[in-house]
């Protein structure tokens, strides 16, 4: 069993418009509402690849059915902690030119009792899993040391912990030396205080994270692929795609694929190949943060993996 901690469940609302005028009335042509949040993306992709997975996150009464139905259809065991406030909403407005304007809600501010309920569910999920993923932002009310504390808890339980976070949450989590961190180029640039413009820079960033005690650091570079390091060396994986549809959530899908590779005991090269195929499969599809098994299988052999000097 893999556990995904994605406390900050979101409701994603996609609205298609002809034109978006600031301060004007715009009429939507089409609207879609679906459960979102990075942890949910990771969990549903792990399930699609055929591994048992559970997700711990917030839920509200208005969306309990929507989220519960989606996750059970996709084979994710969901431990939802219900709150009276509304979940955060993320709105994406796409106009006829294809330009997307996003409005990201700040989400509920949790009290101590709600935070403790989430943390209890997290601790239970660690007990019955072999690998734990901490994914995305935390709801307001949690201090930025939270992932560091959770990663320490996972390590003390003898399990591997994978962290996908940014800013202060990532910086603090590194102190706990999680098994894997997976920043993208912007996140690692902010962390290390230098631009990460090419593969050489990504490889040196991965090596630096390894020196700081991360056993398997991964740096993702969008269309340029991903770089991963372990004690034996640094590998790069990439795939050339025809025009893509939507790369948002590709990092979540890459993480899902790598987690699956790890529980299946694959080598780093093959784990990275599976991750890159999942990231690419997501970018090819319309949906945010979901890669399905047939699409991943079709891309696997096209991923080029090689060792960096």
Ligand X SMILES: Nc1ncnc2c1ncn2[C@@H]1O[C@H](COP(=O)(O)OP(=O)(O)OP(=O)(O)O)[C@@H](O)[C@H]1O
Binding site for Mg ion (CB under 5 A): 184, 251
Phi, psi at residue 304, to the nearest 5°? -95, 125
- The Cα–Cα gap between 62 and 40 comes to 18
Which listed range, 60-68, 86-94, 98-106, 242-250, lies at the site for ligand X (CB under 6 A)? 242-250
Q: 2 pairs with which residues across the strands?
A: 53, 131
Which listed range, 13-21, 73-81, 121-129, 275-283, lies at the site for ligand X (CB under 6 A)? 275-283
- The Cα–Cα gap between 217 and 178 comes to 9
What is the arrangement of strands in the sheet containing 88-94, beginning at the earlier edge strand? 28-36, 10-17, 88-94, 100-104
Q: How far apart are CB 18 and ligand X at their closest, in Å?
A: 27
Tokens (6 digits) for 257:
């694929």
DSSP 276: H
Q: How many CB atoms lie within 10 A of CB 127?
A: 10
Name which of 107 and 257 has its Cβ closer to ligand X: 257
Tokens (6 digits) for 209:
């994270």
- The Cα–Cα gap between 24 and 32 comes to 22
Q: How many CB atoms lie within 10 A of CB 299?
A: 21
Residues within window 254-273 making contact with ligand X, judged by CB under 6 A: 254
Residue 228 contacts which entry, Mg ion, ligand X, none (Cβ below 5-8 A, type-dependent): none
Q: Among residues 164, 301, 300, 279, which one has the least CA distance to residue 222?
A: 279
Which listed range, 88-96, 106-114, 125-133, 219-227, lies at the site for ligand X (CB under 6 A)? 219-227
Name which of 192 and 248 has its Cβ closer to ligand X: 248
Name which of 248 and 295 has its Cβ closer to ligand X: 248
**Which of residues 137, 172, 204, 250 is near ligand X by CB under 6 A?**
250
Distance of CA 12 to the CA centre of its chain: 15
Number of residues that bind ligand X (CB under 6 A): 21
Per CB under 6 A, does 36 bind ligand X? no
159, 31 contact by CB (below 8 A): no
CB closest to Mg ion, residue no = 251
Q: How far apart are CB 171 and Mg ion at their closest, in Å?
A: 16
Which listed range, 7-15, 91-99, 108-116, 249-257, lies at the site for ligand X (CB under 6 A)? 249-257
Name which of 8 and 184 has its Cβ closer to Mg ion: 184
113: CB partners within 8 A, 6+ apart: none
Name which of 189 and 283 has its Cβ closer to ligand X: 283
Name which of 110 and 262 has its Cβ closer to ligand X: 262
Q: List residues binding ligand X (CB under 6 A).
A: 184, 220-223, 225-226, 239, 241, 244, 247-252, 254, 276, 279-280, 283
């Amino acid at each position: 069993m893999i556990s995904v901690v994605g406390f900050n469940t979101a409701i994603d609302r996609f609205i298609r418009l002809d034109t978006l005028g600031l301060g004007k009335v715009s009429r939507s042509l089409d609207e879609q509402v679906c459960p979102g949040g990075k942890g949910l993306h990771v969990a549903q992709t792990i399930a699609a690849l055929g591994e048992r997975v559970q997700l711990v996150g917030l839920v509200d009464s208005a969306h309990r059915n929507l989220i519960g139905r989606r996750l059970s259809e996709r084979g994710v065991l969901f431990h939802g902690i219900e709150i009276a406030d509304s979940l955060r909403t993320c709105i994406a407005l796409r106009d006829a030119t294809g330009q997307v304007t996003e409005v990201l809600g700040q989400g509920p501010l949790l009290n101590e009792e709600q935070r403790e309920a989430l943390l209890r569910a997290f601790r239970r999920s660690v007990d019955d899993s072999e690998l734990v993923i901490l994914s995305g932002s935390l709801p307001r009310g949690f201090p930025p040391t939270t992932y560091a504390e959770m990663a320490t808890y996972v390590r003390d339980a003898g399990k591997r912990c994978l962290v996908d976070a940014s800013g202060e949450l990532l910086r603090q989590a590194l102190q706990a030396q999680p098994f894997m961190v997976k920043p993208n180029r912007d996140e690692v640039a902010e962390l290390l205080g230098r631009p990460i413009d090419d593969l050489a820079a990504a490889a040196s960033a991965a090596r630096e994270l390894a020196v700081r005690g991360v056993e398997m650091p991964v740096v993702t570079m969008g269309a340029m692929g991903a770089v991963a390091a372990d004690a034996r060396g640094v590998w790069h994986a990439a795939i050339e795609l025809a025009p893509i549809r939507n790369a948002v959530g590709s990092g979540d899908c890459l993480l899902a694929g790598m987690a699956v590779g790890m529980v299946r005991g694959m080598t780093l090269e093959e784990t990275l190949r599976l991750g890159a195929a999942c990231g690419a499969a997501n970018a090819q599809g319309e949906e945010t943060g979901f890669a399905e098994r047939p699409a991943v299988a079709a891309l696997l052999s096209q991923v080029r993996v090689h060792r960096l000097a």
